[in-house]
A and B are shown apart, each in its own frame.
Chain A
Amino acid sequence: MTIKIKQLVKTYQAHTDFPVHAVNQVNLDIAQGEFLAIMGPSGSGKTTLLNLLGGIDQPSSGTVTIDGECLQTLSDSALIRFRRDHIGFIFQNYSLLPVFSALENVQFIMQLQGLPDNQCAQRAEQLLSDVGLAAHIHKRPAQLSGGQQQRVAVARALASKPRFILADEPTANLDATNTQELIHIMQDLNQREQTTFIFSTHDPRVITSAKRVINFEDGQISSDIQQ
């Protein structure tokens, strides 16, 4: 699976007279199985780039093509289906459904795909076990620590068997131990299942673990380094 970004521009018309180019003429190719970190200072456009990659925001111009499918040509509902089936999301503040248990949160996305209940339950239990939460599957997010919640979010992101996972500062709210554990889990999944991981991060521990690091400044790629 490849991702091709061509001449991608996202401009916000701020309250001032001057437009803000959050992403400015970005070209980027990402191959299957990459473990890629996008780093840069706050306001550099990392989150906007991830949103455009995941199809949850529309560019001002340019295209994002995933396996030959141009996201900009898809209708709203087709784009939602595409995200559901092909992209996994991990958010900085976990964004789990508070009324569901860890197991139900992971099952939820498979239920959206229309998979049978027993299949959803089996896979969800397996994924939660893979991220080390076998003993906590019936706990609700409020009963889990931040690190545990983020691991549930990882399991949820993997539930739909996506072709790639976008993670927006996944370790921002985690302590050192939890950060290290999360990195190991994601590296393991990346190596075992060839799932592509794309992070935006400030965290040096995540940056050093990445195979490829893109430095993003003022909406543009300033460096692209293979480690």
Chain B
Amino acid sequence: MKKRSMFKLSWRNVWRNPWRSFSIIAAMSLGLLGVLMIMAFSNGMTLSMINNAIDSELGHIQIHNPEYLQQASLDNSLSSEQLLSLQTSLDSYQYKGEQLNYSARLSIPAMMATANRSRGIRIQGVNPMMEAKTTNIEQLLSQGIWLNDSQKKPIVISERNAKRLNARLKSKIIVTYSNSNAQVAGTAFRVVGIFQSGSSMFDDGYAFVLQSDLSSAVESHLIQEIAIRLPPSAPLNQFQSDLQQHFNAQLSIQRWDQRQPMLATMIQATAFSNAIILTIFVCAMGFGIINVMLMVVFERTREFGVLLAIGMQSRMIATLLLLESSLLACVSTSIAGLLCLAFLSYFGRYGLDLGQMAQGLNAFGSNSLIYPQLEWLQFCYSAASVIVVAIIAALVPARRLFKLAPHTAMAERH
């Protein structure tokens, strides 16, 4: 029998009981839509966390003296030769005609204090222009302006820290630190800008000053950290391994996910939880399909007996049943896909505002405005797993057809 005829027969069989087909298709579509939306939401949240980390702090790659990662002190800075060699390499890098951006930072732990409050912080001494090209701190300013060389000892702090220190624009802040002679020293800075990123951890932990101011304060012109931002779609792993080969083991060259393993773990955990949710859904759907197809076999036993009698092989009847089940799954995945596309078109553009959970989300480093995203591959494997499980589930009732004798089947009342 031709495939087209089999397809026609099974398609019409699907719709011979429209309400039942409609209800199972609605259940499968909405269930799958729910799974896809959870995936898209998780992707959006994870992406927000990654983007926040890369854009405001890490860049794509960070370079340190390996010792610095063990003990973050001025003694473990990059040497002048290393810095020169790095700058030469980084300045010559191009990907599709675009250069990379990097920011060399003097980064030290310090204590930040106003008249009556103090707080531990990491002070980043930066070149304002280079930092602004590498990270988005300048764009995150909610008050004031970004650092520039014409200001006198300027400092940029976060809104959270400003609130805690009871500081505002133009407030004086005393920063206390250990200088290169291991002596405690202090410098007064003036607040010129206040920023707010999507990550409360970052906001709590960092403040920015001019590198020249910090260098003279700590009496060291060395650099502890270089953050690199690659051009869009440049091969990150290739770039990392090229640098590693060039500098052998003298430098620690880490990708953003190596620098913040929690983020990498978060991505894996999200993928794992998505897989669990999908598995639970397809299992539940599988039992639903078994139930529907058992009903089909029960209701159409007599008809199957007639088909056997007039010369249709059992395996063809079983194939018919599998085809009906897979058609239900295909229709359901198509509807779920279209609905998902509609939701993502809207929320992907305007975002899903979870302002009420802003504090919690910021603690994880995520913005409260989430832009759900779904990769085609994720949709494809979700849809494929629904169809495969629908076929597998239909095997259970289909097995009964092989035991069917035409004369007993035709004697059924159904």
Contacts and interface: CB of A to CB of B under 8 A. Distances in A.
A93 to B, nearest CB: 9
B288 interface: no
Contact of B1 (A81, A89, A112): A112
Given A97-B9, A99-B16, A114-B1, A89 B407 contact: no
Contacts of B5: 108, 111
B309 interface: yes
Interface in A62-121: 76-77, 80-81, 83-85, 89, 91, 95, 97-100, 108-109, 111-114, 117
A84 B309 CA distance: 8
Contacts of A171: none
Contacts of A51: 407
A85 B311 CA distance: 8
B241 interface: no
Interface string B286-324: 000000000000000011001011111110000000000
Contacts of B306: 89, 91, 95
B279 interface: no
A77 B316 CA distance: 11
15 contacts: A56-B407, A56-B410, A80-B308, A80-B313, A80-B314, A83-B310, A84-B311, A91-B306, A91-B410, A95-B303, A95-B306, A98-B16, A99-B9, A112-B312, A113-B311
B117 interface: no
Nearest to A82: B311
A45 interface: no
A83 B309 CA distance: 7
Nearest to A96: B306
Nearest to B307: A97
A54 interface: yes
Given A89-B309, A91-B410, A95-B303, 7 more contacts: A57-B407, A80-B313, A84-B310, A84-B312, A85-B311, A95-B410, A111-B1
A24 interface: no
Contacts of B313: 77, 80-81
A76 B403 CA distance: 11
B311 A99 contact: no
B357 interface: no
Contact of B311 (A91, A95, A100, A109): A109
Contacts of A76: 314
Interface string A120-133: 00000000000000
A160 interface: yes
B45 to A, nearest CB: 47
Interface residues of A, number: 27
B405 interface: yes
B349 interface: no
A99 B341 CA distance: 34
A143 to B, nearest CB: 15
Contacts of B308: 56, 80
Nearest to A114: B1
B355 to A, nearest CB: 53
Interface string B1-43: 1100100010011001000000000000000000000000000
A172 B312 CA distance: 26
Given A57-B405, A95-B306, A117-B2, A80 B311 contact: yes
B406 interface: yes
A99 B13 contact: yes
Most B Cβ at <10 Å: residue of A77, A80, A156? A80
Interface string A156-170: 100010000000000
Nearest to B407: A57
B14 to A, nearest CB: 9
A199 to B, nearest CB: 16
B347 to A, nearest CB: 41
B2 A109 contact: no
A85 B312 CA distance: 11
Most B Cβ at <10 Å: residue of A76, A85, A99, A109? A99
B309 A99 contact: no
A83 B405 CA distance: 14
